[in-house]
Homo-oligomer: A and B are copies of this chain.
Amino acid sequence: MTSNKLSVQVAINSWRLAVERASKIFSSLTEGELLKEVAPGKNRLIYLLGHLTAIHDAMFPILGLGDRLHPELDAIFVSSPDKTGAQLPAVEELRKYWDEVNGKLLSQFATLSADEWLQRHYAMSEEDYAKDPTRNRLAVLLSRTNHMSYHWGQITLALK
């Protein structure tokens, strides 16, 4: 394995671990448990399930991996905060979207070469990337892994 390939593998492992940990919980909670807030007045678990799915889904175009599967989630789970009265998709639908999006992402990750991970991501212009080559696909992957960890820290507060 080349050393760069190994670095990318480490980053993908870290992402996969975080997804697997969250999947285990999201698939096991009851509908009632998913309505719990992470702290009084804060986001409900069901909102975070939809939010993480939407943010992960948006990685397809950012990483140049094709179209989104569920762009319709943004209006409810990204542009709007929780508890605005919006009608949420059914829990079973949300769980299905989570599995679909994360399953497809992981299989797409495997199609990128180590060098392609270091190419610019698609939310960046060629010009800006030339100025700062660390703003590449790998940076997006680490940033989204941290984002997932951030909300995971909140989710665990509602579980214990």
Interface of A with B (CB < 8 Å)? 1-4, 6-11, 13-14, 18, 38-40, 42, 114-115, 117-118, 133-134, 136, 138-139, 142-143, 145-147, 149-154, 156-157
Contacts and interface: CB of A to CB of B under 8 A. Distances in A.
Main SS class of interface, A: helix
Contacts of A145: 142, 146
A134 B6 contact: yes
A70 to B, nearest CB: 23
Given A142-B142, A150-B150, A157 B118 contact: no
14 contacts: A3-B4, A7-B8, A10-B134, A10-B138, A10-B139, A11-B11, A13-B139, A14-B142, A14-B146, A38-B157, A149-B153, A150-B153, A150-B156, A151-B153
